[in-house]
Chain A
């Protein structure tokens, strides 16, 4: 099975074949000798790659997970071939994107309304969390097509905040 694995924003292709107890792993065209043993049910893993030992911590589900190795943090998104094809079809029809809250907090200030155009890194709203005010920005130049929250509203992690459509495709 082939997986498209995006790690900290960079995509890698991982192909895994299993023969009885042996894992055949090819990453970005390079064959690796890998053993993988779960240490506990909390996400600690003893991984050995080409003879080098790695203490890995991993948490998450089939499509998003978080890996820590030697103090560094890896945010990961995974798709297999089938999911990639399905997502490609969806993406072509909808376009744009939904900005979601990455943390629970309170909407302190709404800086845009439907129809507004925002520049790349332009502010959308101020979210207060852990006594700090965090500005939530647009990733690219966009038009606001929907605002899902109100000023003063408490939001949870993953909740939709604003829907944007890319400016270049709208014009």
Chain B
């Protein structure tokens, strides 16, 4: 096992990795940008190495600087976290060329899964279902009809040059193909000056369900069940759960088997996630994330398996030491991402300095956070501040626990997406399980009850009176910061005003 590892990341995930490493008796080397000199990961690691620079390209994305830091501190392995260099095959290769262990899959696996067309080809060959469709445009209406027979209805006709949903026609049955094809073709010419069309199976009300897998270096693999990630907007997940309410034992076993096949097809080693789109009882490969996922804690809560610990064990060459039948699955877990954004304004990013900070606690509540009082939330980095995770024996109890925990949380100085998560957790469709990836886009946020608004109005009016009283007492009296500033001014006045010397004498 390693004695010291370097973590090429920041924020909550850097802390997450430091924590498992420390529990395993390993030292952690943090690296940090100029901006992060006071960050939590910089303070909590055993060794912290400044990379300098304001931009990610000068720090967390600088392969040369990170490798140098590993060399200087004698770290034996590098964990990339997620984001930044986590899915950068060149980094993986350079880490190994430097004689260090790479806590992630082989560079070849990253490359194979990183290419949309190539991964689709490999998956098809490995009998992993992909969304049926054509990669080449269809020539005319007749060949469209023939292709549609193979793909299966309903069919989505898409413009080759299109994007953003423009020029898409949904065809439910063969009789409708001719009209839809002509219309789509005409629309594509008008909109893009290119009438070429291709066909794909249309997935009605798709859900995003993914499978966690673990492989050791000897090719032993297990899956750690599914995560339901359909509560998302613009592919940004807001809330995840394990297990999924639509997955039964048979489907779970089948999806797990297929995910393991996907991993084996690219020679995968370590922890990875195979993402699927699920629709009407069918599921199709979307992509594989060749790294630890943000939402990995829900899997940990339900299986009791520390995924970072497993990553470190696998990277050091240990075998898994257990088989599929040994993986526990107990109860229900939900995660909410606490992002600096404002649901009331369409999730616009929110910046500021974190002042007031109240974190939830109590039974079965886990907070993976990089936040601290005084932290500047800027635009330099990802807006995710923390993850709130709960566990309970049943889904209903987990929902109630998450609502309770979100009500305890307060992050002052910035807006967060927490009110949106609360709205989801109170939404009938979410509670009954009848939802798909469009659920967030159909919800109205920033709606509050008039009764609660009155209470807020009272608090605001009294707050204003308190402010007025304080300023009547003399500027910023009553706040310690104000007092410090005035005393500092007084000292500087003193030193530059020698007249006091005479008075004092």
Contacts and interface: CB of A to CB of B under 8 A. Distances in A.
Contact of B463 (A10, A45, A130): A45
Contact of B455 (A16, A57, A69): A69
Given A8-B446, A68-B410, A73-B415, A27 B458 contact: yes
Interface string A1-23: 10101011010101010100001
Given A7-B456, A25-B462, A73-B446, 9 more contacts: A1-B465, A14-B460, A41-B481, A42-B356, A49-B455, A55-B358, A57-B356, A65-B460, A73-B418
Chief secondary structure at chain A's binding surface? strand
Contacts of B351: 103-104, 129, 157
Given A41-B479, A57-B358, A76-B460, A27 B454 contact: yes
B458 A34 contact: yes
A150 to B, nearest CB: 19
A169 B340 CA distance: 38
Contact of A74 (B382, B406, B409, B453): B453
A109 to B, nearest CB: 16
Nearest to B465: A16
Given A42-B355, A57-B412, A73-B415, A103 B459 contact: no
Top 7 A-B pairs, shortest CB-CB distance:
A130-B349, A74-B456, A5-B457, A7-B453, A42-B356, A14-B461, A12-B457
15 contacts: A5-B460, A8-B447, A36-B462, A41-B478, A49-B458, A57-B412, A59-B356, A65-B463, A65-B464, A67-B459, A70-B407, A71-B409, A72-B422, A73-B344, A129-B351
A55 B412 CA distance: 13
A78 B349 CA distance: 24
Nearest to A44: B356
Contacts of A58: 459-460, 463
B394 interface: no
B191 interface: no
Contacts of B418: 71, 73
A32 B459 CA distance: 12
A168 interface: no
Contacts of B355: 42-43, 59
A78 B455 contact: no
A80 to B, nearest CB: 8
B350 interface: yes
A28 interface: yes
Nearest to B383: A130
A78 B457 CA distance: 9
A141 to B, nearest CB: 20
Given A28-B454, A73-B419, A5 B461 contact: yes
A23 B479 CA distance: 23
A54 interface: yes
A36 B464 CA distance: 12
Contacts of A23: 462
Contacts of A103: 348-351
Contacts of B496: none
Interface of B: 340-342, 344-346, 348-351, 355-356, 358, 373, 378-379, 382-383, 403, 406-410, 412-413, 415, 418-419, 422, 446-448, 450, 452-468, 478-481
Contacts of A5: 457, 460-461
A120 interface: no
Contacts, number: 164
Interface in A24-71: 25, 27-28, 30, 32, 34, 36, 38, 40-45, 47, 49, 54-62, 65-71
Q: Which range contains the number of A residues in contact with the other chain?
A: 35 or more
Given A14-B461, A73-B415, A54 B455 contact: yes
B461 A104 contact: no
Nearest to B352: A157
Contacts of B341: 130
B449 to A, nearest CB: 9
A111 interface: no
A69 B383 contact: no
A54 B410 CA distance: 13
A132 B457 contact: no
A159 B468 CA distance: 27
Contact of B406 (A8, A36, A71): A71
Contacts of A132: 349
B462 to A, nearest CB: 5
A62 B454 contact: no
B457 A14 contact: yes
Given A16-B465, A36-B462, A78-B461, A8 B344 contact: yes
Nearest to A13: B457
Contacts of B463: 45, 58, 60, 65
A140 interface: no
Contacts of B413: 59
Contacts of B422: 71-72
Contacts of A7: 448, 453-454, 456-457, 460
Contacts of A60: 460, 463
Contacts of A116: none
A59 to B, nearest CB: 5
Nearest to B454: A27
A51 to B, nearest CB: 13
B448 A61 contact: no
Contacts of A113: none
